[in-house]
Amino acid sequence: MRLVAIRPKYVQHVPDQLEEGVLYISERFRICSHLCACGCKEEVVTPLSHAEWHLFKEGELVSLLPSIGNWNYDCKSHYFIEHNGIRWLPKLSAQRIKRVQQKDALDLKRMLDQDNDGQKSGSSRASPGMPLSSRSNVDNSSPTRNMTLRQLMTALKNIFR
């Protein structure tokens, strides 16, 4: 069943078992996670950075931008999280998804290159949370990427306990 709202829950570590309808937010590790809003139970991981997602907080309301595009999952769901609500978007064509994924990969590469150049020269990089582009559709749903992020988060949990 498609969700129309999500409840933010601030955590230090994202739990192993996620509850439907909850957006887990770890500000310490700059990551959010939730079960797909379509009801398929797939875990959606959204790293917070200037090339990926940005979390906006207004009191108890949160928004996560840009949109969530679960194009590698069977559901192919696409939505925004805005003020704790889910705003559903139309599904994209396979060609459009491929173009968005290529652009997102380029944005991420640019961010990593910029970070590496800044470390080498000692210069500061753009502040976190500032998007490199005005993109509005992001594919975060690679199961391999989510597994890697989950393994990284588990390792970090063990280090900082």
Residue 131: name the closest of 24, 55, 70 by CA.
55
pTM over 0.85: no
Six token digits for residue 45: 């991981």
Domain that holds residue 61: 7-160
Predicted pLDDT at 54: 95
Predicted pLDDT at 115: 73
Residue 2 within a domain: no
Predicted pLDDT at 156: 52
- State the average pLDDT over residues 9-22: 97
Q: What is the pLDDT of residues 111-160, one digit of tens each?
A: 778 777 766 655 433 333 333 333 334 445 455 555 555 555 555 554 55
Predicted pLDDT at 10: 97
- State the average pLDDT over residues 7-22: 97
Residue 137: name the closest of 47, 63, 68, 71 by CA.
68
What are the DSSP calls for the chain, one per residue? ---SB-EEEE-SS--SSPPTTEEEEETTTTEEEEE-TTTT--EEEEEBSTTSBEEEEETTEEEEEEEEE-TTSTT--EEEEETTEEEE-PPPPHHHHHHHHHHHHHHHHHHHHHHHHHHHHT---PPTT--SS---EEE---HHHHHHHHHHHHHHHHHH-
d(CA 89, CA 129): 23
Amino acid letter at 15?
Answer: P
Residue 30 within a domain: yes
Q: What is the pLDDT of residues 35-93, one digit of tens each?
A: 999 999 999 999 998 878 999 999 999 999 999 999 889 999 999 999 999 999 998 88
Residue 21 within a domain: yes
Predicted pLDDT at 91: 85
- Could you give the number of structural domains in the chain? 1
